[in-house]
C-alpha cells in the first residue's frame, strides 16, 4: 500500500489525511483555537485498515507540523489524547 499523508488547512480548520492510490483511507480533523493552538477533534481510519498504524502516522505528522509552525495541540479526540498521554516525548506540543 502506497500512502501519502496530506495536510490541508485554512484560518479556521484543517485536516490530516492519508491517501492510498488516490483514495482517502484515514482522516484527522482539527480547528484553530487562536493563532498558535489547534484542537484535534476527530480521528478515523477505514475499518478494514485498523491496526495498521495509520492514526499514529497522522498523529506524528500533526506533531511535526505543530513543531514546525510553533503550534500547541489540544487533544480533544480520544485517540489523540491517549497517544499524547502515553508518549511523554511529545510534551513540548501540549
Question: Range of 39's domain?
Answer: 3-89
Quick one: cell of 31?
Answer: 480547528
pTM for this one?
A: 0.92
65 falls within a domain: yes
13 falls within a domain: yes
Domain containing residue 60: CATH number: 3.40.630.30
Per-residue pLDDT tens digits for 22-34: 899 999 999 999 8
The 10 Å Cβ neighbour count of residue 35 is 9
Angle at 62 between CA 68 and CA 30, to 5 degrees: 115
Q: How many domains does the chain have?
A: 1
94 falls within a domain: no
Does the pLDDT at position 42 exceed 90? yes
Amino acid at each position: 500500500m502506497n500512502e501519502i499523508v496530506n495536510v490541508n488547512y485554512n484560518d479556521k480548520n484543517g485536516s490530516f489525511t492519508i491517501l492510498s492510490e488516490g483514495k482517502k483511507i484515514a482522516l484527522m480533523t482539527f480547528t484553530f483555537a487562536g493563532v498558535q493552538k489547534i484542537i484535534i477533534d476527530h480521528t478515523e481510519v477505514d475499518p478494514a485498515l485498523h491496526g495498521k498504524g495509520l492514526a499514529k502516522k497522522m498523529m506524528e505528522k500533526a506533531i511535526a507540523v505543530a513543531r514546525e509552525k510553533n503550534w500547541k495541540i489540544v487533544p480533544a479526540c480520544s485517540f489523540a489524547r491517549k497517544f499524547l498521554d502515553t508518549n511523554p516525548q511529545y510534551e513540548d506540543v501540549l
